[in-house]
Amino acid sequence: MTLDATFWVTISFLIFLGILIYFKIPQKIKQTLEQNISNIKNRIIEAEKLKEDAKNILTEHEKKISNSKNEVFKMINLANEEAEKNVIRTNNEFHNLMENKKKNAEERIKQLKSQAVKDIKNASVKIAIESVEKLIKNSLDKSKLDKIYTSSIEETKLALKKKSS
């Protein structure tokens, strides 16, 4: 029987496997691998929990943003409505003020017109009285009376023109 190198390699390999089994190396490797697998699974589960938490936080923030946008929209609409009301109110106040000024001006014009008519009447009466006085002072002769009458009418016309100007 010849013992060749393959025989000794096989024997060495079997001894090596025996030593490994004796010192329980495959079980230790299995336990280490199982621990690593368990750690990786735990990390994956923890990452999934964090992912869910992040999704929940994102959803909450999106809701807050949506609510904020709605509130801003409502505030803008309210401000626009308030501005429109202020414009309308200011416009109405302006029109009322202008209407009152117009009425006051019309009243003043009426008063001035009434005063002018009174002044013209007073001037006409004064001129008429002066004309009558002249007639009475002068003789009552018909030719003089016609001249005085004509001149009185002319004076009255001139006086009226001066007053109306």
Q: How far apart, in whole angstroms, are the C-alpha atoms of residue 141 and residue 148?
A: 10
Q: How far apart, in whole angstroms, are the C-alpha atoms of residue 25 and residue 17?
A: 10
Domain boundaries, the chain: 40-164
For the chain, give the percent of residues with pLDDT over 70. 91
Joined together, the tokens standing for residue 86 give 């202020």
Tell me the per-residue pLDDT of 68-126, one tens digit each, with 9 for 90 and over.
Answer: 999 999 999 999 999 999 999 999 999 999 999 999 999 999 999 899 888 888 888 88
- Tell me which residue has tokens 């001894």: 15
Q: How far apart, in whole angstroms, are the C-alpha atoms of residue 65 and residue 29?
A: 53
Tell me the per-residue pLDDT of 117-160, one tens digit each, with 9 for 90 and over.
Answer: 888 888 888 888 887 777 666 655 667 667 777 888 888 878 77
pLDDT at 2 over 80: no
Q: How far apart, in whole angstroms, are the C-alpha atoms of residue 142 and residue 148?
A: 10
